[in-house]
Chains A and B, each alone.
Chain A
């Protein structure tokens, strides 16, 4: 392991060499024994100590009792509103509800336009159906193919 690699790994695995992956541990200790490696390791340790002492774990005064109290039957909602009811959920519900309603209504009741198209179809093809009935099966197949937009010249 070169010194550059050692320094790069310090950023990935931290300054506690005991926590490094076993396959890197031996080479890391060799690198750390050099002057440059030792200096890099000390700088990394100082940096980690600086961050750790600036963000100490806060004391959990009474928090455990408060959480347990929330489990009691009839305990009121002790949760802040932003945690109990995320805003996006209510917004999403408001946005989706009209869409769902429109979808249901659209399928439940045919529109006037649909009814009009049905009437036109009946009027347009009623004579065709009558001819089919009169002419028999052969004529009926040819007529149906034409009505579907297919050519008779296949």
Chain B
């Protein structure tokens, strides 16, 4: 990180190699929108570049700092989307809710994505970080700036809420098998 602070583009490239895919995946899983995810990933790294001097090495890890920035940008994206919906500029319909006929597998994926998107922001972040990004509860707690106990509560509540919403799919043997009609 000290090389990035010294404006070393090679070091910045290495940081991108190591973390860009993860940050983009996190943003996509949080926003369920590829364009927003790319914008958020790009902005996260541009902020790292421009604010590298504010990074305190002893306090948090680089990856934690990156995810914290990305998470805050995701929250901004949710707020922007809510405001746009309230202003009538945008509807919640996107590729997820296109209603296009597809295989049962596609419907199942759409239902899972919709269920994740309906989780409250903090629960969603906790589930995405711990279950999909493979973070430990402790690291996720630092990234989301909550205690480990609070993080574990968020993960548990998020997973339970998802299970309840997806119960219908689990009970459908066709869906459970992943076969198509």
Minimum distance in angstroms from B26 CB to a CB of chain A: 9
Q: Are A19 and B136 in contact (CB under 8 A)?
A: yes
Q: Are B42 and A70 in contact (CB under 8 A)?
A: yes
Give the contact-size bracket for chain A: 20 to 34
Point out which of A14, A54, A64, A71 has the most chain B C-beta atoms below 10 A from its C-beta: A54
Closest to A82 in B: B80
Enumerate A25-81 residues with CB–CB distance to B below 8 Å.
43, 46-48, 50-55, 57-58, 60, 63-64, 66-68, 70-71, 78-80
Given A68-B13, A83-B39, A12–B156 Cβ distance below 8 Å? yes
Q: Are A63 and B20 in contact (CB under 8 A)?
A: yes
Closest to B29 in A: A55
Given A54-B113, A55-B28, A47–B21 Cβ distance below 8 Å? no
Which residues does chain A contribute within 8 Å of B109, judged by CB atoms?
Answer: 53-54
Given A50-B108, A54-B108, A54-B113, A8–B156 Cβ distance below 8 Å? yes
Closest to A49 in B: B178
Q: Are B25 and A58 in contact (CB under 8 A)?
A: yes
B145 at the interface (CB under 8 A from A): no
Closest to B38 in A: A63
A114 at the interface (CB under 8 A from B): no
Given A63-B38, A68-B9, A79-B39, A57–B21 Cβ distance below 8 Å? yes
Q: Are B132 and A55 in contact (CB under 8 A)?
A: yes
B2 at the interface (CB under 8 A from A): no
B73 at the interface (CB under 8 A from A): yes
Q: Are B131 and A48 in contact (CB under 8 A)?
A: yes
Given A50-B108, A63-B24, A68-B13, A14–B116 Cβ distance below 8 Å? no
Across the A-B interface, the 7 shortest Cβ-Cβ residue pairs = A54-B112, A57-B25, A11-B156, A54-B109, A83-B43, A12-B152, A55-B29
* A residues lining the B interface (CB < 8 Å): 8, 11-14, 19, 43, 46-48, 50-55, 57-58, 60, 63-64, 66-68, 70-71, 78-80, 82-83, 86-87
Extra inter-chain contacts (20) besides given A14-B130, A51-B162, CB under 8 Å: A11-B156, A12-B152, A13-B137, A47-B159, A48-B131, A50-B108, A50-B166, A50-B170, A51-B116, A55-B28, A55-B128, A57-B24, A60-B20, A63-B41, A63-B42, A64-B17, A67-B16, A67-B45, A82-B80, A83-B43
